[in-house]
Amino acid sequence: MTTLYNPLVGGFHPDPSIVAVDGVYYLATSTFEYLPGIPIHRSTDFETWELIGHVATRPGQLAVEDVPTGGGAWAPTIRHHDGVFHLVVTDAMGRGMLHFTATDAAGPWSDGDLLRTADGSGTLEGIDPDIAWDAEGTCYVTFSGLQLSGALDPNQPAHLGIQQVKVDLGEHRALEEPRALWSGTGLMFPEAPHLYEVEGWWYLMIAEGGTERGHSISIARAASPEGPFAGAPGNPLVSARSTPRPVQNTGHGDLVVGPGGQWLCVLLGVRPRSGTRAFSALGRETFVTPVTWHDGWPAIDPVLLNPRPGTRTEVTFSPDSGLDGEWIAVRALPSAHADLGSRPGCLVLHADGSRLDDLRPVFIGRRQEHLNSAVTVRMDVSRGAGGVAVRYDERFSVQLEARQGEVVARAAIGGLVQEWRTPFAGSELDLHVESRKPAPSGGLATTSDEFHLAATIDGVRTELAVVDGRFLSSEVTESFTGRVIGVYAVEGEVAVSSWVAEGDDE
């Protein structure tokens, strides 16, 4: 009996796409401005998932170096055809709509080819591409016609609905002008299309309603991959809006036949907390829920919360083993910042004049995977200044920064900054960042969690600050990503000798 944990993959892992190949499942998710880009997780039982690699591991595969916050790798689709893995994705505000291939999902993946218009003069414009083949081998790319360029109002970009083209993958060129397919039930932002052939019917599943509380999944079917498509009588198949369900924003799904022949839908969702369930600390995560078929239509169960047991992760550093794949950096590969050779047993970061509110800070981190989290970092600041931070984007972070002379706790919230200081005369110390449930107050909780920022100096722990966690939630930051906890340098060099992270979802 398969246990379906939810979240299936915890922390910032939105827009999941999945493919089954010879009894093995491969899952891809979005990464936006972070690198390495587009993680690939693998499972044989749908319970245990292993990060086996990333699609974008080399400079140039994704042009995210200068994309605005929220740009970059949007909504991949992973498929397998004729012995080759295919992944299509939009590098938003970067290279454009791309097609990657690999013979092994762990990589290496190709450099990525732009999907061009029929006349070859430009690239296909849209987001959330899907790739599918019919029995004759014709390749179809179906996508959401959101126009990211040329919009008169960046808050109201033009949207052309769900579109489709036949594509020559040898030339990476459309064979026709984009055709309109079906754009759902009339809710905003029809997106995330996926095309499937099941028992002679072609099904077009999409998300609509926006990726916030109104998010949903709807489906239509046709006798041909080109339509015409008719919507299911039970649309939307999934939506948590106006319900008390602990998993909200459910949508952007992909179907797969799971272990034992059970159909499943992987999809994104959030876990909001507070008295009105208003704040989602970890952003959009990957969830899973069963699917049944009735009269030729799928029915998708509501997403049930079933978190995994707590975890403890201890990271050591060695030039021989390098960094594991969980480390990510902002608009740069972690290897651009991580020096594992100059001080044996340490991760050394060299400041370059940037700070955490810059586009490319000297910062590498790991996703916060649990609602309750405690990270302790041992750092030597005898040659510089730096610390540990929880980052949502350039404008929203909490920081614990040390240098010879003092330790500073800092909350940077949308341009407002508050600091707390304590003296520090040494060179090495432990920095603690903990995310905890808010203390009982006798009334409704008004936040998702609280950050407790502390430093242990010469064996004595000093509490510096408690910061309201709601300010680092997806609703406040309006971010597509999630919390990333990492180490950073702002002056000289800092050396990290240990990293311990513990978390649970109680």
Task: Please state the length of the chain.
Answer: 506
Strand order through the sheet with 72-81: 72-81, 84-92, 96-102, 113-114
Would you say residue 148 has pLDDT above 90? no
Q: Identify the three-state secondary structure at position 236.
A: coil
Q: What is the 3-state secondary structure (H, E, C) of 1-23?
A: CCCCCECCECCCCCCCEEEEECC
Would you say residue 415 has pLDDT above 80? yes
The chain-wide mean pLDDT, for the chain, equals 95
What residue ranges in 169-304 does DSSP mark as E strands? 173-174, 179-180, 191-198, 201-208, 216-222, 230-231, 238-239, 248-257, 263-270, 285-294, 297-300
pLDDT by residue (tens digit) across 253-275?
999 999 999 999 999 999 999 98
| Contact predicate 357/412, CB 8 Å | yes
Over residues 33-49, mean pLDDT: 97
**Residue appearing with tokens 């403890």:** 312
pLDDT of residue 150: 55
pLDDT by residue (tens digit) across 487-503?
999 999 999 999 999 99
Would you say residue 440 has pLDDT above 90? no
**Which domains, from first to last, does the chain contain?**
17-300 (2.115.10.20), 311-504 (2.60.120.200)
pLDDT by residue (tens digit) across 166-213?
999 999 999 999 999 999 999 999 999 999 999 999 999 999 999 999
Q: What is the 3-state secondary structure (H, E, C) of 359-403?
A: CCCCEEEEECCCCEEEEEEEEECCCEEEEEEEECCCCEEEEEEEE
Return the percentage of the chain with pLDDT > 70, whole number: 98
pLDDT of residue 444: 76
Angle at 495 between CA 492 and CA 501, to 5 degrees: 130
pLDDT by residue (tens digit) across 306-344?
999 999 999 999 998 899 999 999 999 999 999 999 999
pLDDT of residue 152: 44
Q: What is the value of pTM for the model shown?
A: 0.96
Would you say residue 102 has pLDDT above 70? yes
pLDDT of residue 410: 98
pLDDT by residue (tens digit) across 392-401?
999 999 999 9
Measure the CA–CA gap between 326 and 72, rounded to whole angstroms: 18
Would you say residue 99 has pLDDT above 50? yes
